A and B are shown apart, each in its own frame.
Chain A
Amino acid sequence: MSTNAQKRGFGATIWDYLTTVDHKKIAHLYLIAGGLFFLIGGLEALFIRIQLLKPNNDFVSAGLFNELLTMHGTTMIFLAAMPLVFAFMNAVMPLQIGARDVAFPFLNSLGFWLFLFGGLFLNLSWFLDAAPNAGWTSYASLSIAQTGHGIDFYALGLQIAGLGTLIGGINFLVTIINMRAPGMTYMRMPMFTWTTFVVSALILFAFPPLTVGLFLMTFDRMFGANFFDAAMGGNTIIWEHFFWIFGHPEVYILILPAFGIFSEIFAIFSRKRLFGYSSMVFATVLIGFLGFMVWAHHMFTTGLGPIANSIFAVATMAIAVPTGIKIFNWLFTMWGGSIRFTTPMLWAVAFIPSFLMGGVTGVMLGSAAQDYQYHDTYFVVAHFHYVIVGGVVFALFAGAHLYWPKMFGTMLNEVLGKITFVLFFVGFHMTFFIQHFLGLWGMPRRVFTYLPGQGFETSNVVSSIGAFLMAAGVIVLLINVVITSVKNEKVGNDPWGDGRTLEWALSSPPPYYNFKQLPLVRGLDAYWIEKMEGKKGMTPAEPLGDIHMPNNSFIPFLISLGLFIAAFGAMYHGDEGNTWGIPVLIFGLLFTLGSMFVRSIKDDHGYHIPKEELIDDNDKGVKA
């Protein structure tokens, strides 16, 4: 029962994607959904920059500005950066370790649909009531006092999306621990797989605090609890701690895969083994570990006291050490290499100084006494955009160009790719570099306008122009994607010519079972080793046999849909005269539980691809 060579109609393709459990197709879904939210978040950013273009501007009202900036932050972090990172993890990590899929394909699909429904729910707030307006951090003292349903959308939407992320993280952990190909020891795993591993561990430990925090928020706002209400004996600071115990590891969840992508790029386009591989692994693990010990540096000014502030300040600055190790390793990887400046490599080279600047301001902010000056100014805005855009977004662009052939079988146009890079790189530094100074001059963040004559005018104009350059870069990328898809020129296994890891040993895109025979891994950069010995592909580690595959399933969609429905019930049940809230809540939860029940009692053993069928298409060059 194999369907790999059929032409499909449009409806069948949609149905295929709705029910797919294939990690490569789920990667497509994450990429499309994450890309869409990235565009929405980018539009919100543009509106913010238009509003701040001149003093006393009235492009948007103060209330709408609060909603825009809250949704910009929330969308970019939870609905754009996370799923885009997940897209590359899904697309590449199973191939890099020589696996046929992730450990739990069904859960992989469930994770995606939960994320998508959570994201949809959050963005429906624009149409149904008012969007969340208490900042992406949604500090409790402000957010429980907000009227309307904005914060409810935030709490419920992120709860659903976060559940999906947690499921995805656990799935990756199990996959990496259990499903490495023969010979793929931990210390032979490609760097991107290592960062995926550490990031998944961070997700496992960081998302439960967010879940707890959001539940407390949900109960405070919708079910009459008082966890954060000081007047009722609650404590409003607890939200901040929960949020940042999650929130700090979250930024490492975003940046570590970026480090992984760049490590691959530096090695590929310098035609050299990654310098200091074992110290890179060590640094990644150390960053992950330290990431949990520093959350209170976001809260220096809440009055934790000098001892707590000092401990967290020192721990924060300690993170500069493993990060520095990584920066030097990348530099030494390039040193003496035969470098090719392809689009991914341009992003990678530009990433080092850009991210470094964000790191330096990070150390400045990490010093508690100084932080009192910087707190809540544009200096902080400049800092975190330098690390998140200069680190994560650069990596996403680089990864998109690098892995586009592996995901879709076509190469993005290099000229357009370089134009995207130049526009975005220049725009990025124009937008955010000047914001350091705006912050030092005293411009507060999150305020919807400013007065003339304070010396902020020119700098804000510069910043806004930069934002439009970034938008232009993104538009060029979209044009590039359209052109490439229309041309549809298929490429071979290793389109960059210097692929080092297992994914480049497979056709682009790989067959739906990935590896006909699991490959034998003989060292770090397994495919490179074989190439250097003059072989065309990997040595198989097993005889050709039947391959067991999971069946597609629509149930993940239904499970997520149930929670989506339930969230509406939970949100509206407290409105005056509302009678349908509780029934809808119960219906939605029963719908989810019912879908899970069906999944549990229905036997689904998957199917086998018979050996004979695999022998037939030997000529396609998918010798694994």
Chain B
Amino acid sequence: MANGQLNSGNPRVDIEYRRKKNAEEMKHQVITFALMIFLTLIAFVAVAYEGFTGWFIVPFILLLAVVQVIFQLFYFMHMSHDGHEAPKLFMYTGVLIAFVTILCYTTIIWW
């Protein structure tokens, strides 16, 4: 990453390797995409089904949403690849700070 600023481009790109990598990635993306649609269906069913109370439905669909966000980040936005350590670090920190904030608001302001 630190070398990305050189004004000479890298001429050697292994196309064969890249192609194989891309095919594998495509497979992952299709699988995750299917899973995400499936999770969305479950969310709709959970809301539509009359036997569940709000106390179950809301946390449940929030959980499904979190799973989908993780899928999105790791398989569609390439966070599983190398070279994403810094974005990961910052996202985790952001999540932590948001969590502490919400925890405080819920414990010492609103209740």
Contacts and interface: CB of A to CB of B under 8 A. Distances in A.
Given A201-B93, A293-B100, A548-B7, A180 B108 contact: no
Given A177-B86, A182-B2, A292 B7 contact: no
A296 B104 contact: yes
Interface size classification for chain A: 35 or more
Contacts of B104: 241, 296, 308
A542 B8 CA distance: 8
B97 interface: yes
B93 to A, nearest CB: 7
B101 interface: yes
A308 B108 contact: yes
B13 interface: no
A181 interface: yes
A201 B86 CA distance: 11
B97 A205 contact: yes
Contact of B105 (A173, A241, A545): A241
A82 interface: no
Contacts of A458: none
A305 B94 contact: no
A237 B110 CA distance: 10
Contact of B4 (A178, A184, A305): A178
A103 to B, nearest CB: 10
A241 B104 CA distance: 9
Contacts of B107: 308
A241 B105 CA distance: 8
A606 interface: no
A23 to B, nearest CB: 14
Contacts of A178: 1-2, 4-5
Nearest to A541: B6
A546 B7 contact: yes
Nearest to B109: A237
Contact of B90 (A204, A238, A296, A308): A204
Interface string A300-335: 000011001000000000000000000000000000
Contacts of B101: 209, 245
Contact of A241 (B6, B7, B109): B109
Interface in A280-311: 292-293, 296, 304-305, 308
A518 B101 CA distance: 43
A429 B6 CA distance: 50
A165 B80 CA distance: 31
B2 to A, nearest CB: 4
Given A180-B2, A182-B2, A245-B101, A542 B7 contact: yes
A467 B105 CA distance: 41
B27 to A, nearest CB: 30
Contacts, number: 60
A185 B2 contact: yes
B97 A292 contact: yes
B10 interface: no
Nearest to A288: B93
Contacts of A99: 5
Instruction: Say what secondary structure dominates the interface of chain B.
Output: helix
A180 B104 CA distance: 38
Contacts of B3: 182
A184 B90 CA distance: 21
Interface string B68-99: 00000000000000000010001001100100
Nearest to A177: B86
A518 B2 contact: no
Interface in B3-22: 3-8
A406 interface: no
A296 B103 CA distance: 13
B6 A518 contact: yes
A107 to B, nearest CB: 17
Contacts of A293: 100
Given A209-B101, A292-B100, A305-B108, A543 B90 contact: no
A529 interface: no
Interface in A158-200: 173, 177-185
Nearest to B96: A292
B31 to A, nearest CB: 31
B108 A179 contact: no
Contacts of B93: 201, 205
A100 interface: yes
A168 B73 CA distance: 25
B5 A518 contact: yes
A308 B108 CA distance: 7
A339 interface: no
Nearest to A242: B101
Nearest to B85: A177
A179 to B, nearest CB: 5
Contacts of B105: 238, 241
A235 interface: yes
Nearest to A521: B2
Nearest to B94: A205
A543 B7 CA distance: 9
Contacts of A100: 5
Contacts of A205: 93-94, 97
Contacts of B1: 177-178
A349 interface: no
A184 B7 contact: no
A356 interface: no
Nearest to A238: B109
A92 to B, nearest CB: 18
A434 interface: no
Contacts of B4: 178-179
Nearest to A237: B109
A462 interface: no
B97 A181 contact: no
B94 A181 contact: no
Closest 5 pairs between A and B when the two form their complex, measured CB to CB: A180-B2, A545-B7, A177-B86, A308-B108, A304-B108
13 contacts: A99-B5, A178-B1, A178-B2, A178-B5, A179-B2, A182-B3, A182-B6, A184-B2, A185-B2, A205-B94, A296-B104, A543-B8, A547-B7
Interface of A: 99-100, 173, 177-185, 201, 204-205, 209, 235, 237-238, 241, 245, 292-293, 296, 304-305, 308, 518, 541-543, 545-548
Given A177-B86, A235-B109, A545-B8, 5 more contacts: A179-B2, A180-B2, A182-B2, A182-B6, A204-B94
